[in-house]
Amino acid sequence: MTQRYFYRLFETIHKKISYTFSIVAFSLAGGWFGAVYAFFFGSATIPMFSLQTHYLIVLCFVFATLLVTILHSVQYGLLAPIGISGIEAHITRINKTLNPTHSIRRNSSEELDVILSDLIRLPLHNMISAFCYGSFVLLSCVIPYLLFDYNLKELLYIFLGWLAAVFVYCGFSYIITDYITGPKRVMLKKVLLSRSYSSNFPSGFLGLKGKFGFLLSLVLLSLTILAVYVGLRPDSYLEIAFFIGLTFFAATTLIILYFQSISTTLEQIGKSANDLAAGGPGKLPLVSIDREFLGFAKDFAKATGEIGRIREHLQSLVEEKTSELRETLRTVEELKQQQDGDYFLTSLLIKPLGINKTTGRKAKVDFLIKQKKNFVFKGKESEIGGDICIAQEILLRGKEYTVFLNADAMGKSLQGAGGVLVLGAAFHSILQRTLTNENTYSLYAEKWIKNAFTELHKLFQGFDGSMLVSMVLGVLDEEAGILYYINAEHPWSVLYRDGKASFLEESLQYRKLGTPGMEGSLSVKIFRLQPADILVIGSDGRDDLEIPTRSGEKTMNEDESLFMKIVESSEGNLQTILSNLESRGRITDDLSLLRIEYDPGKSLNKTKAGKGVHNLSKKAREFLRNKNIPEAILTIEEALNLSPENQILKRDLIRLHYRNGNYQEACSLMDSYVEENPGDTDIIYTASFCFKKIGNFNRSLELAERIQLRNPGIPANLAHIADLNLKLGRSEKASNYAKLSLELDPENENASEILKRLNGNP
């Protein structure tokens, strides 16, 4: 807006009087601004200064300033309306050529080149004229000091004030002239370039650094004069306010013009670069005459010339290269066809591995797989990647279990698919062996999942770290709702229960399958699912989202809880989860989701205790407080006759028999209880010790190893296992477990005693 009003006023003066006078009309504002600087500085520093005491000085100063204004205006074409276009030849040429009624198209290229050179030199010429006129004003003020009885020491302050004034006058004249002549210089350059006229455009006297230095000096000078004035004449409020307002207006105007000139130049550079990129000549007639920009313009002209020469020979080069590209493209298409064939064959091999063989009677399992690599082979669309989901029902010890696997093999496309092929084939081999091998069929769930994980890990260790797989492997007891699982550096599983989602895991359990150096005790996590619980497991594609920001940039998702929130808002539905993920950002990796909904069809709490059972339980507790354990046992047995399926009563009866030393009866009850309640780790632990007391060491060891798989860091259980192995004649195993127990608890007496016995010490 400032630029528009500025040029509107300038054009009005140009049309009414002359082009160069319109320039001087603005630069003279700097002269009067400098005069104000000088007056303020002199009135503040000269002692006893007033119009009465120094009226001759002020009169000469004002008269000389008015005379300079007239002379400067006449020099630059004030009298053009009456035929005097200027005193100097170059000013006269400029005014005649740039007259609004004259068309520059009529001038020859040589004439326009001369006018352009005149315009480029005009800012320096105007600045020199300003310095000369300013010097005239100084001499006009010195004469009264020499002719009349004034203190000659005051001439020092007069000279300092003159320096400030002439500095402002010259700087204003240069910057204003440079800015105003810019559009005309551009117009002349465009005409000369259109005529292919070669001209060397010289740079101006002041560059960007010089102009910036002047503006900075102007601000500092204004502050200095203001500080001097305020310090010496603090009560002149109106004069101080006037000086501040004038300084602010002048400095702001010059700063706006300075940055507007830079902005216009940069816009010209951008337009020329775009024109060059679009196939145009990319000519750059800069508005600026600053040496910094002109240096860039020369380099830009060299570049455009080189590009022009390249374009001239580009057609033949294109034809030559096109034939080469056609041949290369044909080769690439053949290779791509072969690659897509490999992809298609691999996808056919993977497809029967990632299957869901569950009936969904009590655990409904669903898959969703979206591989990153899509391809078309012979008109058939398919996809390939490193994600896989497998689910199947198996029998272990006569109980129905649902086995599930969600895995992500390292690498993209064929590399990931190779990992999936190995994993899928090996895991199906394990499942088939479970269905046909009696030894495998008789395993507990903890032991089965440990063996499966160990076998898969050893298989991938053979690749020496070049093929790693993250996965969640789980076994669900359909009757009891107990979930046994291992997470090998896979994203945490999400439990959706009662409308709320939460992570099932809390920390990293194991590194990926095939990770070198992954040793130590294996732990199988257990979790009891409730009816209507939904478990959602997914690969890291669920978190690898490229999310757009408000600024338009894209960033990778770093919120690990985002998927959990999406599961909650999607109510555990896989298709809705996928849609919500895609609405949040772009999925950048293979994505596989596995969903398990537990629906046993009836409440796991099979019976409710009646009033009679409640009274008998209360009575048994009374006997127990009186340490009458036999009567407490008889009372609990009576209560069990009323409620045979009450698991709490069975648990209490087991504990009472154990405390009373009835180990045979306790073991008999424990066998059935443990099968019905596999999640009761405490009773399994107690049962192991109970079977040890009746001499059934194999059964005791079997139960102790289940505890070891669930909680591998219990020193007492490790010592217990060591003792059982010793009793069964397995000295090496007994020694290993005893040492492991002592590592965790150096003061464990049982482990120490076992090692002494193994070493032959009494």
User: Strands 534-538 and 482-488: what pairing?
Assistant: unpaired
Q: Residue 615 and residue 638: Cα distance in Å, rounded?
A: 11
Q: Residue 161 and residue 257: Cα distance in Å, rounded?
A: 26
Structure tokens at 483: 């979930």
Asked if residue 533 lies in contact with residue 458, where contact means CB atoms within 8 angstroms, the answer is no
DSSP annotation of 106 reads G
Nearest to 185 by CA among 298, 108, 98: 98
Q: Residue 360 and residue 142: Cα distance in Å, rounded?
A: 111
SS3 label, residue 32: helix
Asked if residue 673 lies in contact with residue 650, where contact means CB atoms within 8 angstroms, the answer is yes
SS3 label, residue 376: strand
What's the angle, vertex CA 512, arms to CA 510 and CA 516, rounded to 5? 95
Written as one string, the DSSP assignment of 673-718 is HHHH-TT-HHHHHHHHHHHHHTT-HHHHHHHHHHHHHH-TT-HHHH
Q: Residue 655 and residue 657: Cα distance in Å, rounded?
A: 6
Written as one string, the DSSP assignment of 266-298 is HHHHHHHHHHHHTTS------S---HHHHHHHH
Distances from the Cα of 279 to the Cα of 182, 187, 194, 273, 301, angstroms: 27, 23, 17, 10, 15
* pLDDT given for residue 311 in this prediction: 67
The contacts of residue 622 (CB under 8 Å, 6+ apart) are: none
Q: Residue for token digits 């591998």?
A: 712
* pLDDT given for residue 40 in this prediction: 65
User: Strands 469-477 and 399-409: what pairing?
Assistant: antiparallel
Distances from the Cα of 325 to the Cα of 314, 333, 571, angstroms: 15, 12, 53
Q: Residue 102 and residue 94: Cα distance in Å, rounded?
A: 11
Structure tokens at 616: 């008998």
Q: Residue for token digits 């006037």?
A: 242
Distances from the Cα of 2 to the Cα of 14, 179, 216, angstroms: 18, 13, 21
In the chain, which stretches have pLDDT less than 50? 604-607
Q: Residue 165 and residue 171: Cα distance in Å, rounded?
A: 10
Q: Residue 370 and residue 542: Cα distance in Å, rounded?
A: 10
Q: Residue 675 and residue 673: Cα distance in Å, rounded?
A: 5
The dihedrals phi and psi of 341, each to the nearest 5 degrees, come to -65, -40
The Cβ of residue 348 has, within 10 Å, a number of other Cβ atoms equal to 10
Asked if residue 377 lies in contact with residue 606, where contact means CB atoms within 8 angstroms, the answer is no
What's the angle, vertex CA 440, arms to CA 437 and CA 444, rounded to 5? 150
Asked if residue 509 lies in contact with residue 487, where contact means CB atoms within 8 angstroms, the answer is yes
The contacts of residue 329 (CB under 8 Å, 6+ apart) are: none
DSSP annotation of 662 reads -
Q: Residue for token digits 């959990």?
A: 564
Element (H, E) at 408: strand 399-409
Structure tokens at 131: 């310095």
Asked if residue 372 lies in contact with residue 385, where contact means CB atoms within 8 angstroms, the answer is yes
* pLDDT given for residue 411 in this prediction: 77
The dihedrals phi and psi of 236, each to the nearest 5 degrees, come to -90, 75
b/e code 578-599 from CB counts within 10 Å (16+ = b): bebbeebbebebbbbbbbbbbb
Nearest to 205 by CA among 171, 180, 169: 171
| Helices vs strands, H then E, count in the chain | 24, 16
For residue 126, the number of C-alpha atoms closer than 13 Å in the C-beta half-sphere is: 39
Q: Residue 110 and residue 514: Cα distance in Å, rounded?
A: 82
Q: How far apart are the first and last CA of the chain?
A: 105
Q: Residue 652 and residue 658: Cα distance in Å, rounded?
A: 10
Q: Residue for token digits 């059964």?
A: 699
Asked if residue 468 lies in contact with residue 504, where contact means CB atoms within 8 angstroms, the answer is no
Q: Residue 702 and residue 446: Cα distance in Å, rounded?
A: 11
Element (H, E) at 364: strand 363-370
Distances from the Cα of 611 to the Cα of 20, 242, 644, angstroms: 114, 100, 15
pTM value is: 0.55
What's the angle, vertex CA 632, arms to CA 629 and CA 638, rounded to 5? 145
SS3 label, residue 113: helix
The Cβ of residue 726 has, within 10 Å, a number of other Cβ atoms equal to 20
Q: Residue for token digits 């040492």?
A: 739
Query: What stretches of 75-160 adopt beta strand conformation (E)?
Result: none
